[in-house]
Amino acid sequence: MIRLFSPEGTLVIEVDDPGVSVSIDGQEMVITGAGVKELRLKPGQYQLQATKEGEVLKQELVTITRNGRQLVRVSREPASTAIKSVEGASQPTDSKPVDPDRRAAEYVLSIGGKVRLNDDSRHGEKKFITSIKELPDSPFRLTHVELINNRNVTDTGMAALRGTKNLRFVNLAYSPEFTDAGLAHLSDNRGLQRLDLWGTNITKKGIEYFVGFPDLRDLRLGDTQLSAEDLSILKQYVSLQKLEILMLTLTQADDSTLAILSDAHQLIQLNLEETDITDVGLSYLEENRNLEYLYLKGTKVTAPGVRRLSRILPKLDKDWNEPEKPSTSSASMLSKTDSKSVDPDRRAAEYVLSVGGKVWVNKDSAFTDKNVIQTRDKLPSEPFRLTHADLQTNSRVTDAGLAAFRGTKHL
């Protein structure tokens, strides 16, 4: 197996088959047995040739870039005479010296993602790392991975995450090319606390992988093809009673789904926009005494059903409109924007958070800091000034949703 990286102009070639001979621009590199050899190259293009017993397995034109962002992998597959390019990134090799956390971090960064290291918080408090050259030379724990709206994320690529054990946060929202098979590579991360699969192609098999995860607190499954039957797997989740945030917008969730959630006693936020929920389902939520935020636009609930739940849960903040008034999930946080009683800063902040963004309040500096807010329950109860909003690479942002910013003055 041969792996090539080009961070900082360094090409690393790893060969597991001692019978394979590797040459760069006609100059043979001698690698005795399975091992690694490093070669310092200047920016430019190089011809790689791998041969075995006189047969050319593959020729690759390798480009080394100045900023070191391009990564190339060439691997010789079993039962095949070719070495093929996979993912443009490094993959697992089962070699003992390979550090799973470093390998996974390099893969994520090579395809435009972001990572945090040694950060045990759920949402992340330390600065994001965005390039391979920022990774420390010393060992680290990969704790946060963000790959939003990224078509480079595939099942084969996600094999780079195999063997990682320290992930707390994984965000794959709107990355359309991976499937359930890719999620299987997260199976050793039993401490995972937040998983965002919004807008992906997952099925019941994919969410079954996380049944035994004991500390999953924030699960985002909106805008997927999951049926009520698929979602029934939630009753097997060992973390069900710890779940605090669950997003099922634009799924086929129905009243049977809410019957399961009556056991989710720590649930704080529940998104059900554009689902088949009725008043029968609302009755199951009467046991969720910690529920603070409930999104019901586009459902089949009625005013009497909502009023009944409001009496039982008087602190519940509901986002709902009459069924005959059409709405879109992208504007789920926007209601009665022309009402003078609405606080524009709070309304805008809640919208940003509802679609997975981040906000900062009462901050006069042009730059953001670690005091980021990522969930509604962290917003101050008293009035505040919305000064910073982050909606990077977010395909859930629409014109209708951005109307929530109307009237803000402090950004």
pLDDT in tens, 347-383: 999 998 888 888 888 887 766 667 888 888 889 888 8
- Give CA–CA dist 118/144, Å, rounded: 9
Pairing of strands 218-220, 245-247: parallel
> Interior CA angle at 218 toward 215 and 223, to 5°?
140
Strand, helix or coil at 134?
Answer: helix
Q: Which residue ranges make up each domain of the chain?
A: 2-85, 100-331, 344-405
Identify the pLDDT of residue 67: 45
Identify the pLDDT of residue 155: 93
Phi, psi at residue 270, to the nearest 5°?
-135, 120
Retrieve residue 349's tokens.
């902040």
Going 324 to 325 to 328 to 332, the CA torsion angle's sign is: negative
Kindly report the three-state secondary structure assignment for every residue of 147-201. CCCCCCCCHHHHHHHCCCCCCCEEECCCCCCCCHHHHHHHCCCCCCCEEECCCCC
Strand, helix or coil at 246?
Answer: strand
Whether 100-331 and 2-85 are alike in CATH topology: the answer is no
Identify the pLDDT of residue 187: 94
Nearest alpha carbon to residue 125 among 101, 143, 104: 143
The amino acid at 344: P
Class of domain 2-85: mainly beta
DSSP secondary structure string for all residues of 282-313: HHHGGG-TT--EEE-TTSS--HHHHHHHHHHS
Cα 14 to Cα 95, 158, 291: the distances in Å are 10, 20, 53
- Give CA–CA dist 94/92, Å, rounded: 6
Pairing of strands 269-271, 245-247: parallel
The amino acid at 395: S
- Give CA–CA dist 316/264, Å, rounded: 16
Identify the pLDDT of residue 55: 63
- Give CA–CA dist 29/32, Å, rounded: 10
Give the list of residues 6+ apart from residue 314 with CB closer than 8 angstroms, or none.
none
DSSP secondary structure string for all residues of 37-53: EEEE--SEEEEEEEEET
Percent of the residues in the chain that have a pLDDT greater than 90, as a whole number: 53
Low-confidence ranges of the chain (pLDDT < 50): 1-10, 31-38, 63-96, 324-340
Strands laid side by side in the 55-64 sheet: 27-29, 20-24, 44-52, 55-64
Identify the pLDDT of residue 28: 55
Going through 240-377 in order, the beta strands assigned E by DSSP cover: 245-247, 269-271, 293-295, 317-319, 358-361
Architecture of the structural domain at 100-331: Alpha-Beta Horseshoe (3.80)
